[in-house]
């Protein structure tokens, strides 16, 4: 599965393709819909580079591994190395902003949680992070006021406002950099609002990051022939 970072106008970005560092439970409405509780410490996890794919291509979901849920998130592309960085250093190192789907194998995740096991395979499988093109940071004067949405078959499913994040963008990336060195080409996913739910083959998806991105794509099936 070949992937290259692109800008919002479709031009290639001269950065390598790195890991994806994510934060879970960063919107109170999503915590409520998942019947979870707000924790004092951030929940960080990683998707490998092989999870990345272009959102503009059909979104392929595995159809033999249970429910695949949408989680629409603001994505941040890192342009400079960050280690134990301050929020100000983070702001200076951001290449740009985009949208991503944090695809989640919900049944598998729930089963692994019940067993007390790590649930990374439910988040990090091949193609688990469809990603749109990035808007350069210089064009985004107020990242913490970004608004975004997902429509499925013409119906609004998710609507997000970055001002409602529990941890703001630069703060969460600063905290991430205390644990993981972030390198040029790494992508940060900033959490999803309420409205997660199952995707089906032939679903039509429209994602918007106001006022820069409006992208329509569709869902197709991909059999993994997974051993059960």
**pLDDT value at residue 32:** 77
Is cis: bond before 43, omega within 30 of 0?
A: no
**pLDDT value at residue 226:** 52
**pLDDT value at residue 227:** 46
Helix, strand, or coil (residue 195): coil
35: confidence class by pLDDT, cuts 50, 70, 90: low
pLDDT in tens, 37-88: 676 788 999 999 999 999 988 999 998 999 999 999 999 999 999 999 999 9
Q: Are 119 and 112 in contact (CB under 8 A)?
A: yes
**pLDDT value at residue 193:** 93
**pLDDT value at residue 24:** 86
- pLDDT higher than 50, residue 125: yes
**pLDDT value at residue 47:** 97
Residue 96's alpha-carbon distances to 65, 117, 180, 199, 228, in angstroms, are 33, 34, 20, 28, 40
- pLDDT higher than 80, residue 178: yes
pLDDT in tens, 11-20: 999 999 999 9
**pLDDT value at residue 146:** 97
- What is the DSSP code string of 106-118? HHHHHHHHHHT--
Domain boundaries, the chain: 20-222
Taking residues 198-202, what's their average pLDDT? Answer: 96
**pLDDT value at residue 84:** 98
**pLDDT value at residue 228:** 41
CATH of domain 20-222: 3.90.850.10
Q: HSE (CB half, 13 Å, CA atoms) of 24?
A: 18
Nearest Cα to Cα of residue 190 among 215, 169, 212, 163 = 169
**pLDDT value at residue 39:** 64
Q: Are 4 and 129 in contact (CB under 8 A)?
A: no
């Amino acid at each position: 599965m070949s992937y290259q970072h692109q800008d919002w106008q479709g031009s290639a970005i001269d950065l390598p393709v790195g890991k994806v560092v994510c934060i879970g439970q960063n919107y109170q409405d999503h915590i409520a819909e998942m019947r979870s509780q707000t924790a004092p410490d951030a929940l960080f996890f990683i998707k490998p580079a092989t999870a990345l794919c272009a959102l503009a291509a059909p979104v392929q979901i595995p159809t033999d591994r249970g429910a695949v849920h949408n989680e629409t998130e603001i994505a941040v592309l890192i342009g400079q190395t960050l280690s134990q960085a301050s929020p100000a250093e983070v702001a200076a190192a951001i290449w740009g902003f985009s949208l991503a789907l944090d695809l989640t194998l919900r049944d598998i995740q729930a089963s692994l949680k019940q067993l007390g096991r790590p649930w990374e395979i439910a988040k990090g499988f091949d193609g688990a992070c469809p990603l749109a093109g990035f808007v350069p940071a210089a064009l985004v004067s107020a990242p913490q006021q970004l608004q975004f949405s997902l429509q499925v078959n013409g119906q609004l499913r998710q609507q997000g406002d970055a001002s409602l994040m529990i941890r703001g963008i630069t703060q969460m990336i600063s905290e991430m950099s205390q644990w993981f060195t972030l390198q040029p080409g790494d992508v940060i996913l900033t959490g999803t609002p309420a409205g997660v739910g199952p995707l089906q083959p032939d679903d039509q998806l429209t994602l918007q990051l106001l006022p820069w991105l409006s992208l329509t794509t569709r869902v197709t099936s991909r059999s993994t022939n997974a051993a059960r």
